[in-house]
A and B are shown apart, each in its own frame.
Chain A
Amino acid sequence: MTDHNQSPVPSHVLAVNGLTKDYPGVRAVDNVSFSIQSGTVHCLVGENGAGKSTLVKMLTGALQPTSGSMSVNGSQYLPGNPQDARDGGIATLFQELHVVDELTVLENLTLGMERSRFGFLIKSKLEDRVVQTLYAIEPSINPSARVSTLSVAQKQIVEIARAASSGASVIIMDEPTAALSEREVERLFAVIRRLRDSAVTVVYISHKLEEIFQLGDAVTVLRDGKHIATKQLSDVAGRSELIEMMIGRSVFQDYSPRTNISDEKVLRAEGLTNSVLRDVSFHINRGEIVGFYGLVGAGKTEIARALFGADKVAGSIEFKGRPVGRSPKQAIAAGIALVPEERRTQGLFTNLSIRENIPVMNLRRLSNNGVFRASVEHDAAVDYVNRLNIATESIDKHTEKLSGGNQQKVVFAKCLFADADLLLLDEPTRGVDVGAKTEIYDIIRNLADDGNSVAIFSSELEEVLGICDRIFLLYSGSLEAEVINGTNVDAPHILNVVTGGHVGGVQ
Chain B
Amino acid sequence: MVIRKNLIAAGLVVSSLVAAASGAVAADGKRIAFFVSDLSNVFHQSQAAEAQRYAKEKYGAEVVVFDGQADSAVMTQNVDQVVAGAFDAATLHIWDAEAATPGVKEALGEGIVMTSFFSPITDTGIPTARSDEAGVSFEMGKQMAKAWKEAHPDKPIVMVQLGWPNHTEVNSGRTAPFAKGVLSVDPAAENLGALDSSAGQEAAKQIIVDLLTQRPEVNLIYSEASNLTVGTMAGLSQLGRGKFKDGKPVTEIVASVDFDTVEFSQIYDPNSSLKVSMGLPPVETAQGRIDLVMDVVKGKIPSSSKTAEEFFYKAYTISYWTMPESDAKTWLEAQFGK
Does chain A touch chain B in the assembled complex, meaning CB atoms less than 8 Å apart? no
- Tell me the A residues contacting B by CB distance below 8 Å: none
